[in-house]
């Protein structure tokens, strides 16, 4: 039975109440131009005010997405300079290291000075407006400094998550032609060291275009420095002027590239631009988290993912908030880490992923009970559908029924949250991201693209542009159009399936394309398959998702070996670690089945539907297998299930 949690006392004083939401939603639908003109003016500080607001079309004939096109602004100025007069001495970032209590507090004034100094370092190293800079860093203050320094001078940052392999890093550096890379000697996660600089060295063997590597000293490990190429961060900033003017950027100038997996081919460089992205991350942070002056906000994501961009750095800082940067993991040194840290730092708003909630829930309530969590006012969830059991535990045990949960649906492509409750306006239903934010027009369509009305289920599309949406795939505008706007002409296709109930609430059911959501991180099945096939003993591979108790989805790989190769547990282990080193630990298959053959149609197309069913353990009803070239392989696969 569906339970409704009405807006409660905890939301008292929220800026947007029920009537407010209805009014804003109607207003944005009736007059998007006027709505976004006002929002952009009151949320951001412009160097040159815009006169144009919305210029967008999702149709092939006049496809274009442009917002505030003649306005100029600077992201670092919005996140730092404009706060100096009113809150220069307020803490902007609380950094919490891997070891509990290893903490650093940086005020807005200090952050501003560090960013200006580092921006001058970038300039001195030849970085100009429009140049790409790749960041491969732990969750340290320098990561935020480097991001903001790029934005201050108009350079485009591309962050590569520290868990990605040297090969993945090399591909991303090459794709956007970065000439400068910023990294650290090592990262620390859960008491283990991550050889970031050594990984960069391996990657750069394939990236001759990189001229400079700036290296943060994080652990003090003994690492190799390449003469003439590698420079220590601390040496580079020494004595550098902390005065650096903020470059006036056009609203549509590129802000950052972030690579994300798709259903086909190599990861896409999602490009976000300056004005629309900053407006979206700032306004959604303010409204969805109902952020109040002086509060401490903790989003546990890494800046290597979009959640870290929008809700660790840009959204909070644009609002003058105090944001926590966490360089650790939820289960180190023990399963109470989150809750103990919340108490110690006085966290008011906590935003994490269902996978972390499920992992901690399994360890029992005792770890939570050791903490008071008195400071908590609001909880958030992101990255994948949250199952009602995890929702209930988060609400009842962590939030002690005091804290509303905002389940926020969005994507790397959307720049920020599109569907989520507003704490003072929306009754909650566990497992539903509830309703679209003002200005967001979701629709459900059937396979042919017909718009479905009322309570129904279908594919989730967005019918009109919003300022925070991605503008292109780096270097491949055609792929951008094909991927998102060609399936259902005139609409942005999210790749998600979704149900809408009689109250107009949205329930995301998961990806409908060949993308797997592993622990809230997106993985393309094609990427894992090509990594497997690159192994000398592998002839063919097919990868599908399977239900996983903690990760949400796990990776299930079917592997056909070359003639003469024999399956063995050693080879299975070897292939798993092969994928780990080709892509990164998150891509390592949870289950790997050696298959004598794969189910294919007579035209040679792999029938993934059947592979998915077998991986799910749902073998009683495999559907029509008569079109298979060799129906016999199905029985073999069922028998060999792991
Ligand atoms: C995909 C986007 C959003 C930032 C982190 C992931 C799934 C995301 C939810 C949610 C159900 C969700 C979707 C989406 N997803 N949030 N609250 N409920 N599903 O960003 O890597 O770009 O992945 O994550 O399937 O398409 P991403």
Atom of ligand 1 nearest to the CA of 408: 17
491 and 548 belong to one structural domain = no
> Would residue 448 count as lying in a domain?
yes
Q: Residue 108 has what DSSP assignment?
A: H
> Would residue 1 count as lying in a domain?
no
DSSP 477-530: HHHHHHHHHTTTTTSEEEEEEEEE-TTS-EEEEEESSSEEEETTEEEEHHHHHH
Assess contact for 383 and 354: CB atoms under 8 A: yes
> Would residue 472 count as lying in a domain?
yes
Assess contact for 321 and 50: CB atoms under 8 A: no
Q: Is 310 annotated as a binding residue?
A: no
Binning pLDDT at 50, 70 and 90, where does residue 1 land? low
272 Cα to the center of ligand 1, angstroms? 17
201 and 303 belong to one structural domain = no
> Would residue 268 count as lying in a domain?
no
Assess contact for 254 and 458: CB atoms under 8 A: no
Nearest-CA residue for ligand 1 atom 18 is: 385
- Strand order, beta sheet including 230-232: 230-232, 212-216, 180-184, 132-136, 156-159, 254-260, 268-273, 472-473
Which pLDDT tens digit goes with each residue over 53-68?
A: 999 999 999 999 999 9
- Read off the pLDDT of each residue in 106-116 and give the average, rounded to a whole number: 98
Which pLDDT tens digit goes with each residue over 277-333?
A: 999 999 999 999 999 999 999 999 999 999 999 999 999 999 999 999 999 999 999
Q: Residue 628 has what DSSP assignment?
A: B
149 and 234 belong to one structural domain = yes
> Would residue 531 count as lying in a domain?
yes
pLDDT of 211 above 80: yes
For the chain, the average pLDDT equals 96
**Dist CA 185 CA 170 (whole Å):** 18
Question: What does the angle CA 522 – CA 67 – CA 297 come to, to the nearest 5 degrees?
Answer: 50
Number of other CB atoms surrounding residue 512 within 10 Å: 17
451 and 495 belong to one structural domain = yes
Phi, psi for 202 (deg, rounded to 5): -65, -45
581 and 506 belong to one structural domain = no
Domain harbouring 565, CATH code: 3.30.300.30
502 and 587 belong to one structural domain = no
Assess contact for 622 and 610: CB atoms under 8 A: yes
Q: Is 533 annotated as a binding residue?
A: yes
521 Cα to the center of ligand 1, angstroms? 8
Q: Omega into 289 within 30° of 0, i.e. cis?
A: no
Atom of ligand 1 nearest to the CA of 522: 21
- Read off the pLDDT of each residue in 559-583 and give the average, rounded to a whole number: 96
> Would residue 85 count as lying in a domain?
no
Domain count of the fold of the chain: 3
Q: What is the pTM of this model?
A: 0.96
134-163: b (≥16 Cβ within 10 Å) or e: bbbbbbbbbbbbbbbbbbbbbbbbbbbbbb
> Would residue 97 count as lying in a domain?
no
Q: Is 331 annotated as a binding residue?
A: yes
Minimum mean pLDDT range among 97-101, 308-312, 396-400, 630-634: 630-634
Which pLDDT tens digit goes with each residue over 145-181?
A: 999 999 999 999 999 999 999 999 999 999 999 999 9
Domain harbouring 205, CATH code: 3.40.50.980
Q: Is 86 annotated as a binding residue?
A: no
Which one of 456, 481, 510 terminates a domain? 510
Atom of ligand 1 nearest to the CA of 386: 18
Q: Is 511 annotated as a binding residue?
A: yes
pLDDT of 372 above 60: yes
469 Cα to the center of ligand 1, angstroms? 14
Q: Which domain holds residue 558?
A: 519-640
Domain harbouring 360, CATH code: 3.40.50.12780
Q: Is 234 annotated as a binding residue?
A: no
Cα–Cα distances (Å) from 504 to 291, 409, 441, 457, in that order, read 26, 15, 12, 12
Q: Which residues line ligand 1 (CB under 6 A)?
A: 260, 306-307, 382-385, 407-412, 433, 494-496, 508, 511, 517, 520-522
pLDDT of residue 3: 80
Which one of 483, 510, 537 terminates a domain? 510
pLDDT of 630 above 90: no
- Please state, for a pLDDT cut of 90, what percent of the chain lies above it: 92
104 Cα to the center of ligand 1, angstroms? 31
339 and 402 belong to one structural domain = yes
> Would residue 88 count as lying in a domain?
no
Which one of 510, 545, 565 terminates a domain? 510
Nearest-CA residue for ligand 1 atom 6 is: 383
Q: Residue 599 has what DSSP assignment?
A: -
H/E segment holding residue 578:
helix 569-582
167 and 138 belong to one structural domain = yes
523 and 454 belong to one structural domain = no
201 Cα to the center of ligand 1, angstroms? 32
- Please state, for a pLDDT cut of 70, what percent of the chain lies above it: 100
Binning pLDDT at 50, 70 and 90, where does residue 592 land? very high
């Amino acid at each position: 039975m569906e339970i409704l949690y009405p807006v409660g006392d905890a939301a008292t004083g929220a800026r947007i109440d029920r009537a407010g939401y209805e009014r804003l939603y109607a207003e944005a639908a009736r007059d998007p131009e006027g709505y976004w003109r006002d929002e952009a003016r009151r949320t951001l500080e412009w160097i040159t005010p815009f006169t144009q607001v919305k210029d967008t079309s999702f149709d092939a004939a006049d496809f274009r997405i442009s917002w505030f096109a003649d306005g100029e602004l600077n992201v670092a100025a919005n996140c730092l300079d404009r706060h100096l007069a009113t809150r220069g001495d307020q803490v902007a970032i609380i950094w919490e290291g891997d070891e509990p209590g290893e903490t650093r507090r940086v005020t807005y004034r200090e952050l501003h000075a560090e960013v200006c100094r580092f921006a001058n370092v970038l300039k001195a190293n030849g970085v100009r407006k429009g140049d790409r800079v790749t960041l491969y860093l732990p969750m340290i203050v320098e990561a935020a400094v480097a991001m903001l320094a790029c934005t201050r001078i108009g350079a485009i940052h591309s962050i590569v998550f520290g868990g990605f392999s040297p090969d993945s890093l090399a591909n991303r550096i090459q794709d956007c032609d970065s000439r400068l890379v910023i990294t650290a000697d090592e990262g620390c996660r859960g008491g283990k060291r991550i050889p970031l600089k050594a990984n960069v060295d391996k990657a750069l063997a394939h990236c001759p275009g990189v001229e400079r590597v700036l290296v943060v000293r994080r652990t003090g490990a003994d690492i190799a420095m390449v003469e003439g190429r590698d420079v220590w961060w601390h040496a580079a900033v020494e004595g550098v002027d902390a005065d650096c003017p903020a470059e006036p950027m056009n609203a549509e100038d590129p802000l950052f590239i972030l690579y994300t997996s798709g259903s086909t081919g190599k990861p896409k460089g999602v490009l976000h631009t300056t004005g629309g992205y900053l407006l979206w991350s700032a306004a959604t942070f303010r409204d969805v988290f109902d952020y109040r002056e002086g509060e401490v906000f903790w989003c546990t994501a890494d800046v290597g993912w979009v959640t870290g961009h929008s809700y660790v750095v840009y959204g909070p800082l644009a609002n003058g908030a105090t944001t926590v940067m966490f360089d650790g993991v939820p289960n180190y040194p023990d399963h109470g880490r989150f809750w103990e840290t919340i108490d110690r730092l006085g966290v008011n708003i906590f935003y994490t992923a269902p996978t972390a909630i499920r992992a901690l829930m399994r360890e029992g309530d005792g770890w939570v009970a050791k903490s008071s969590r008195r400071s908590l006012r609001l909880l958030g969830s992101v990255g994948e559908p949250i199952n009602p059991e995890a929702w209930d535990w988060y609400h009842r045990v962590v939030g002690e029924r005091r804290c509303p949960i905002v389940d926020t649906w969005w994507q790397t492509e959307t720049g920020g949250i599109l569907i989520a409750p507003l704490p003072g306006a929306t009754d909650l239903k566990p497992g539903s991201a509830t309703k679209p934010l003002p200005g967001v027009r979701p629709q459900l369509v059937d396979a042919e693209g017909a718009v479905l009305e009322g309570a129904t289920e279908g594919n989730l599309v967005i019918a009109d542009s919003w300022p925070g949406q991605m503008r292109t795939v780096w270097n491949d505008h055609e792929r951008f159009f094909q991927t998102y706007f060609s399936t259902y002409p005139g609409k942005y296709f999210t790749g998600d399936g979704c149900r809408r109930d009689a109250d107009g609430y949205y329930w995301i059911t998961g990806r409908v394309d060949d993308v797997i959501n592993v622990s809230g991180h997106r993985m393309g099945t094609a990427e894992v398959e090509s990594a497997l096939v690159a192994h000398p003993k592998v002839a063919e591979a097919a990868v599908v998702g399977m239900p996983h108790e903690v990760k949400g989805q796990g990776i299930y790989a079917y592997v056909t070996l070359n003639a003469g190769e024999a399956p063995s547990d050693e080879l299975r282990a070897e292939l798993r670690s092969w994928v780990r080193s080709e892509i990164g630990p998150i891509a390592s298959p949870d289950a790997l089945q050696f298959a004598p053959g794969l189910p294919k149609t007579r035209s040679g197309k792999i029938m993934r539907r059947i592979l998915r069913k077998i991986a799910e353990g749902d073998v009683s009803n495999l559907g029509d297998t008569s079109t298979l070239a060799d129906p016999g392989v199905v029985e073999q696969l069922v028998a060999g299930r792991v």
